[in-house]
Amino acid sequence: MGAAVIVKGLKKTFNLRHSHSMKETLVWLAKGRKGDLTKKFDALHDVSFEIQPGETVALLGFNGSGKSTLLKLISGVILPDQGTVRTKGRVAGLIEVGAGFHPDLSGRENVYLNAAILGMTEQEIQEKFDDIVAFSEIEQFIDTEVKFYSSGMFLRLAFAVAVHTQPDIFLVDEILAVGDEPFQRKCLAKIKQLSDEGRTLVVVSHDLDMISRICDRGVVLSSGTVQFEGPADQAVAWLRERN
C-alpha cells in the first residue's frame, strides 16, 4: 500500500492584484504590456513529501510560511503552478471549521448542507445525524437559526459535522481552536479515534503543545520551503529553537 498523500516539487505563485477592472487591463494591453500588471509572490517553492495512510501529520511554521496554502493545494481548493499533488481515497478538506455554514439556516439544515459539502451521501447523513447532534451537545438549539448561536455553539456543531464525515484523508486548519476545555478534550479523543481507525490526518495549528501530543510527524515550513521533517516533538522543538 502506497502513500496516502504524495506532494512533489510543489510551487505556488500568487499574483498580488487587487483591482478587478477591465479598463486597467486594457490600458496595460494598449501600452504594449509594459511592466508587470501584477506583482508576484512565491507562497510555496519546491515542496515535496509523502504522508502514509493512518499517519497524523502537522504542518508547522510561522504566519505566512505557506502552511494554509499547502493545505489548500492538498484539498484541491487551489491548483499548483508546478509540481503535483496526489491523494488516495476520500478527502475532506476543512480549511476552516464552519466554512460552509449559512447564518440564515437552522442548525439542522446546516448539518445536512455541510455534511453534503464535505462529501457525505444523503443516507450517510441520515444515519449520522443523531450522532452529530449528540456530539455537539446543542440538541436544544438544533432548529434555531445559526445566526443566533454563540460562537462556541457554532464551532461545536461545525466540528461535529466535520468529524463525522468519515473521510480517508482529513485536512484541518486550526482544528483545536474549538470550544471550552471539556469540549476540546472530547475533540482530541475523537481525533485519536479517527487516527486509530486508520484515517490520515493533516493538521495546521499554532498550538505546539497539542501538536506534539496528537501528531506522529511534523513538517516545518518557512518562506514556502520545507525546513524540517521528522517526529512531531522534534519538529516542535526545531521550531521553538528558532523562535
Partner 1 sequence: MSNSTDTYAVPGVGAGLLDVYRRRYLLKLIVRKELRVRYRGSVLGLAWSYVKPLVQYVVLFFALGIVLRVGDQIPNYALYMFSGVIVINFFSEAFSNATRSIVSNAALVKKIYLPRELFPVASVWVAAVHFLPQLIVLLAAALLSGWHPDIMQLFGALLGFVIVAVTATGLGLLAGAINVFFRDAENIVDMLMMIVTWTSPVLYDWTMIRRLAAPWVLTIYQLNPITVAVELFHWAFWYPTVNQPVELPPHLLVTGFIGLGMAALFLVIGQIVFRRLEGHFAQEV
Contacts with partner 1 by CB under 8 A lie at 6, 14-15, 20-22, 25, 72-79, 84-91, 93-96, 99-100, 102, 104-105, 109, 112-113, 116-118, 121-122, 168
**Least distance in angstroms from the C-beta of 111 to partner 1:** 11
C-beta of 15 vs 193, nearer to partner 1? 15
Pairing of strands 200-204, 225-231: unpaired
**SS3 at position 92:** strand
CB of 176 to partner 1, least distance (A): 18
Q: Residue 94 or residue 208: which is nearer to partner 1 going by CB? A: 94
CB-wise, 151 or 243, nearer to partner 1? 151
CA distance 116 to 57: 26
DSSP state of 62: S
Instruction: For the CB of residue 80, give the shortest distance to partner 1 in the complex, in Å.
Output: 9
Q: What are the CA-CA distances from residue 148 to residues 139, 141, 154, 201 (Å)?
A: 14, 9, 9, 32
Backbone angles phi and psi of 50, in degrees to 5: -125, 150
The DSSP code for 106 is B
Task: Identify which of residues 46 and 109 has a Cβ nearer to partner 1 in the complex.
Answer: 109
Q: What is the largest CA-CA distance in the chain?
A: 64
Which of 85/237 has CB closer to partner 1? 85
Residues 215 and 232: beta-carbon distance below 8 Å: yes
Least distance to partner 1, CB of residue 166, Å: 8
**What is the rounded distance in angstroms from the CA atom of residue 113 to the CA atom of residue 100?**
8
Give the nearer residue to partner 1 in terms of CB position, either 54 or 188.
54
**Shortest Cβ distance from residue 197 to partner 1 (Å)?**
11
Nearer to partner 1, 22 or 30 (CB): 22
CB of 93 to partner 1, least distance (A): 6
User: What is d(CA 77, CA 56) in angstroms, rounded to the nearest whole number?
Assistant: 21
Buried b / exposed e across 184-214, counting CB within 10 Å, b at 16+? bebbbebbeebbeeebbbbbbbebbebbbeb
Rounded to the nearest whole angstrom, what is the least distance from the CB of residue 239 to partner 1 in the complex? 25
Sheet holding 56-60, edge to edge: 91-94, 169-173, 200-204, 56-60, 217-222, 225-231
